[in-house]
Amino acid sequence: MLHAQDERCPHLGAALSKGRIAADRIVCPFHGFEYDGAGHCRLIPANGKDGRIPAGMQVRTYPVRELQGLVFLWWGPERDTYPELPFFEDLLSGWRMSTMAVDWPVHYTRAIENQLDVAHIPFVHKSTIGAGGREFVDGPYVVADDSSIRVWTTNSVDPERPSRSQAELAESAAGRPPILHLQLPGLWMLLISPTFRNLIAFVPINEQKTRYYLRAYHQVRNPLLARPFEFLLGLSNRFILNQDRRVVVTQRPLRSADAGHDRLIGADRAIAQYRRWHARALGSSAPALQPAREQAQKGQEESPVAFPGITEDVADIRSPLE
């Protein structure tokens, strides 16, 4: 059973993530204090098995839920009901998938905006997905609300005409699924074809580090074919991500929330919508989320609310949803 707790032991402040799990309790590595899943201290070895445990010897615990192999964590005040977990309905069944994880030395806002940027492809990915000189962006058409940002766009060789109007783009997008879809706060999907999708769960580790859990969803049913196909997908996705990384690590300031001097263009509509949502979610006086520290056994730091990590290597992604 999964639990998420503050990392600091209330005794002398040691990191519980450096301890161990014993019988569904976390054991502090410093003096062996044991805490149950609700955060209550159940044993102080120095006091003996029947010894008194002070009332304040407790670790804060956070609600967690699982969906599709992702761990979702709520960092805000306790409440009777919680928001629906963000995910993509068309990925809930009927797919095979493979997962890879990479860490980037960037703030999560820069990582997410990079995947909403529809104009960088022919320059950053000139040797891969951006080949062909398709520098002209027709759009994008963007639909945003408090839970998602959806993007329709077409890149082409310059047709020597302006981009279509938003009304024309809206008409063209009607009835078609978006090319890019961000489920806020940090689940992103790229529609590559009817039988192929990429998904990224963005996991802030701290102010200078973001973990990407990249999943390739496909419908190759034969396991003998699927495994080598997934291996090749992993190589391809890693190479393409590294092309992005080379540029994104150079962006300043580190947090896009501090980038008040950026001059956005029409092709940046999705980025603009993300920045608007991010500012609303944090509140006008909040400069940024408090960083979460990378831990082996979850949890840490108070900040408004929270969200997904991944079951295979427990981590968490945090951002306000209220």
CATH number at residue 273: 3.90.380.10
Asked if residue 33 and residue 114 are part of one domain, the reply reads no
Q: Which of 17, 43, 62 is the last residue of a domain?
A: 62
CATH of the domain at 21: 2.102.10.10
Verify that 101 and 232 share a domain, yes or no.
yes
Do 114 and 217 fall into the same domain?
yes
With contact defined as beta carbons under 8 Å apart, do 238 and 102 qualify?
Answer: yes
| Same domain flag for 96 and 140 | yes
pLDDT at 200: 97
Residues 179 and 278 in one domain: yes
pLDDT in the model for residue 294: 30
Amino acid 76: pLDDT: 78
From the list 238, 299, 303, the residue with the least C-alpha distance to 71 is 299
pLDDT of residue 140: 96
Q: Are residues 18 and 156 in the same domain?
A: no
Co-location of 293 and 253 in the same domain: yes
Q: Is the dihedral of CA 226, 232, 238, 241 positive or negative?
A: negative
Residues 282 and 216 in one domain: yes
Handedness of CA 272, 147, 104, 119 (dihedral sign): negative
Segments of the chain with pLDDT less than 70: 284-322
Do 263 and 299 sit in the same domain of this protein? yes
Q: What is the pTM of this model?
A: 0.82
Containing structural domain, residue 51: 4-62
pLDDT in tens, 252-297: 999 999 998 999 999 999 999 999 999 998 885 333 333 333 333 3
